[in-house]
Amino acid sequence: MELIEKLKIRYSYLDILAKIIVWMVLCFILPYLLNTLLFLFNIKSFSLVEYFHVSADLSELIFKPWSLLTYGFFHAGLWHLAGNMLILYYSGRIVLDLYGENKFLKIFFIGLLFGSLTYLLSYNIFPVFSGIKPPMIGASAGAMAMFIFLTAHNPNITFRLIFIDVKIIYIAGFLILSDIIQIPVGNSGGHLAHLGGAFWGYYFNKQLKVGNNPGDWIIKFNDYINRFFKVKPKVKKVYKNYSAKSNPSKKVDQKKIDEILDKISKSGYDSLSQSEKETLFKAGDN
């Protein structure tokens, strides 16, 4: 099996949190790779990020409505990316285990949307931002939505910070207060977006507690997008036409492959042993 096929299989069995992180890393690296390629061929460089960042300029936003969400997959620097991934991973892992993929998607993507809309409205309403239309990138609003949702779910959850355990409610309070007091200092749009994402995380948690579950449209939208990117592993297709009578050894192999696939569906690709991974890859090579 070609390397690309192996990567496809690995990707297809990642959970939604891991897939989002993969896309954020790819979107961070891609503009640099593109600029290097353009440089080598002596072609004038351009900013790929410009097609995906969100702008407070309404005339620009009209032609890039997707930017209300896509801005969250691009980052201004390595520390910007790493910080968002850490917050998203540690809070998102718990949320995903507790509430499942659909609610995770609602929290993250609608959190991004609330962040971009908060930024957009603020820069077009408040006089202090008159004539200023800076672009915005980063997954902070989605990560903040996840973190505040988890805080609202259980404010007594603790995280170890260096040598001490700190309750999540104190970390959340520090993050929100930090965003509020830094609005006049710099990166005002980013801090406002964080607060927009935080509001959605808190609001969504409260809605779930009273029996409501808003945001189904994002699930339908995600399903629509997945039609174009869905990866279909070919492992089962390799064996399904084999006859146990004509080739008895394949009966044992097929059973083993099915057991491995069941294990992946329950525990993820990373739960496989090295021998199980090798068996899966060899199956695709036949």
Residue 164 main-chain phi, psi, to 5 deg: -130, 155
Instruction: Please state, rounded to an integer, the average pLDDT across all residues of the chain.
Output: 87
Q: What is the pLDDT of residue 258?
A: 67
Residue 243 has pLDDT above 50, yes or no: no
* 3-state SS assignment for residue 237: helix
Per-residue pLDDT tens over the stretch 110-152 = 999 999 999 999 999 999 999 899 999 999 999 999 999 999 9
CATH class given for the domain over 16-229: mainly alpha
Q: What is the DSSP string of 56-120?
A: S-HHHHTT-TTHHHHGGG--SSHHHHHHHHHHHHHHHHHHHHHH-HHHHHHHHHHHHHHHHHHHH
- Rounded to two decimals, the pTM is 0.79
Q: Where would I find the beta strands (DSSP E) of 132-253?
A: 158-161, 164-167
Report domain extents, the chain: 16-229, 235-285
Tokens of 8: 């496809």
Q: What is the pLDDT of residue 226?
A: 77
Q: What is the pLDDT of residue 270?
A: 61
